[in-house]
Structure 1
Amino acid sequence: MSRAKTGRKPYRQHPYRQVPYLVNSVPGPLHHTPLAFAHRGADPERENTMAAFQRAVDLGFRYLEIDVRTSADGELVIFHDETLDRTTDGTGRVSEHSWAQLSRLRVGGQPLVRFEDALRAFPDAHFNVDLKDAAAVDHFAEIVERLGAHDRVLAASFNDARRHRLRRLVSRHVATSGGWVSIGLMVLLGPFGGLGRLSQRLARIDCVQVPIRQSRIPVVRPKFVERCHAAGLQVHVWVVDDPQEMHRLLDLGVDGIMTDDAEALAAVMRERSVWPQTV
């Protein structure tokens, strides 16, 4: 994967921690390049479905961002909302339905998907998994252990306690991103030299995955990115659909972008000569 001259700023050689899940942190074709994440498969009409994932992979995406929830009978289902109403032809809470019931529902004409089935269907893909309920942690850990998928998944959650619980359930390291407590402390304490006090907390995460801003508080600013890199952490930004904003963030030095517009991000990465990423 050659680096053509694009007039853009060269990628900086950050002192990344080596994390197998983050293929840009280890020697290889994507070393020190930004990563592209297909948010819920980056196909809003068919979000979190096999059809969306297949389209993203066919376009060149290696990273699929997904959400998982637990069904009434303990199956880990790829689904974002707490209720079925917005995206499916069903109603009620996901947690109140068995997998047999959920499997009959459709999202944009496509069936719902179990996490285990997606892992098996896309053996070369890496899954960025948002654990949406407490019960999902145990089921996620069991599937990862049984399939030996430790290096193919990252556990994300706004709830730091779920990340701590996962660490106790797996036999070897699974990548994680920081929850709101960790990120909030970095945003608020970082400008005042507070990272020293956060060192133990930061040592337990592998990256931060953040919006450009939270409410009226800007998050992804040059100093924030610099502080994260100084701590050995990658910065992944969600959800970005505008190509100009993608370029701005990449020039700022962010290490990954999550998008709902697969074609737009693929075009930006191609312009920067880091596409496809399914290598």
Structure 2
Amino acid sequence: MTNPHPYFAPGGNPDGTGGGPEHAVPGDQDTARAPLAMAHRGFSLDGLENSMAAFRAAVDLGFRHLETDVHTTADGVLVLFHDKTLDRVTQERGRIADLPAAAVARARIGGTEPIPLFEELIAAFPDVRLNIDVKDWNSVDALASAIERHALHDRVLVASFSDRRRRAVLRQLSRPAAGSAGTVSNAVFVLLGPVLPATLMGFVARRALQGVQALQVPVRYGAVTVVTPGFVRRAHRHGLQVHVWTVNEPAEMHRLLDLGVDGIVTDRADLLKTVLTERGTWA
């Protein structure tokens, strides 16, 4: 299944150049159809998630799609961080939305790494594409402004558990950026897909998934198995990619790739690279 947005090109530059069979090891199949390999908050076996060290480690492995999260400080600075508070992974305390950027800058991930600014990441890796989870409403305007200011439309996929937040970012852009479905839209597709006639499901999908090119989902949600052969087929029928998070076991990576998923988000970038290399689809 192909997707027209430049973000989804499997390797090389955001304009889609630089990927393809010339980047495969000898004897491999065409990597133009390679699944997207996405490093979840970068790559760090030491828990330094969303740090420049983790992003650099993933890029050094050859990853060109990084997953990250954004929050915005009280004075409007966009930072890369997953939690709403600093408490879990730094020595500091407090909600990012309540703190000025100077206070957030004193925090150290794992006691050693500063919290990166969004601007730092895009400047450090100009050929890397970013899967950005918009974590709070304060970040909607800040992210949209950054995408516009740096013309990142082809380099970003805007994601959020909140469909409203994702739509609010995309509405402010002067040209389309890629988007993935939020919790409600994914639930509609998962629950109604198997029971509605194809034509009716097509109508529902067009309404619920407007501006969406990817369904980013876990393998299971509670007792519900989300990623099934039927789910993947339905997504592809409606022109949607399937990206699965967060997959860290090689056997499960192989199983999902055999199902035909279009991308895998992982904490173990090293293992995913090995799996894709073994399959001849490391772009």
Question: Is the TM-score greater than 0.5?
Answer: yes
Shift of 1:18: 0.5
Residue 19 (structure 1) aligns with? 5
Deviations 1:41-88 (A, max 9, x none): 032511001000000000111110000001111101100011111100
Q: 1:233 aligns with which of 240, 247, 267?
A: 240
SS in 1 for 2:79: strand
Cα deviation per residue 1:122-159 (whole Å; 9 max; x = unaligned)?
Answer: 10110100000012111001111111111011100011
| Matched residue SS, 2:193 | helix
Residue 95 (structure 1) shift: 1.2
- 1:124 maps onto 2:134 in alignment: no
Tell me the distance in 2 between the aligned counterparts of 1:181 and 1:273: 35
**What is the alpha-carbon distance in structure 1 between the residues aligned to residue 138 and residue 84 of structure 2?**
13
Residue 33 (structure 1) aligns with: 34
> What is the CA–CA distance in structure 2 between the aligned matches of 1:62 and 1:200, rounded to whole Å?
31
TM-score, length basis structure 1? 0.90
Distance 1:253 1:150 in 2: 27
Matched, 1:102 2:104: yes
**Alpha-carbon distance in 1 for matches of 2:264, 2:146:** 27
Unaligned runs of 5+ in 2: 21-30
Pairwise CA RMSD: 1.5
In structure 2, how many angstroms separate the alpha carbons of the residues matched to 1:143 and 1:133?
16
1: distance between equivalents of 2:54 and 2:86? 18
Distance 2:256 2:88 in 1: 31
One-letter amino acid matched to 1:115: F
Q: 1:218 aligns with which of 221, 225, 228?
A: 225
Q: Which position in structure 1 is the counterpart of 2:140?
A: 137
Cα distance in 2, alignment partners of residues 195 and 17 from structure 1: 20
Q: Contact 1:213–1:220 at 8 Å: present in 2 too?
A: yes
State the secondary structure of the residue aligned to 1:151.
coil
- Looking at structure 1, the residues matched to 80 and 167 of structure 2 have their Cα atoms a distance apart, in angstroms, of 22
Deviation at 1:24, TM superposition (A): 3.8
Deviation at 1:274, TM superposition (A): 2.4
Identify the residue that residue 5 of structure 1 maps to in structure 2. none
The ranges of structure 1 where at least 4 consecutive aligned residues each deviate by more than 4 angstroms after the TM superposition are 25-28
Residue 204 of structure 2 is aligned to residue 163 of structure 1: no
Whole-Å separation in 1 of the counterparts to 2:169 and 2:95: 24
**Number of residues paired by the alignment?**
262
Structure 1 counterpart of 2:182: 179
Tell me the secondary structure at the aligned position of residue 113 of structure 1.
coil
Which residue number corresponds to residue 6 of structure 1? Answer: none
Q: Please state how far the C-alpha of 1:231 moved relative to its aligned partner.
A: 0.4
Q: What percentage of residue pairs aligned between the two structures are identical?
A: 50
Whole-angstrom CA distance in 2 between matches of 1:199 and 1:144 = 25
2:194 corresponds to 1:191: yes
- Report if aligned partners of 1:202, 1:231 keep a CA contact under 8 Å in 2: no
- TM-superposed CA distance for 1:175, in Å, is 0.6
What is the 5 A alignment of 1:50-61?
Answer: 50-61=52-63
Cα distance in 2 for partners of 1:150, 1:170 equals: 8
C-alpha separation between the residues in 1 aligned to 2:42 and 2:115? Answer: 13
2: distance between equivalents of 1:23 and 1:203? 21
Deviations 1:144-179 (A, max 9, x none): 111111101110001111122122211000110001
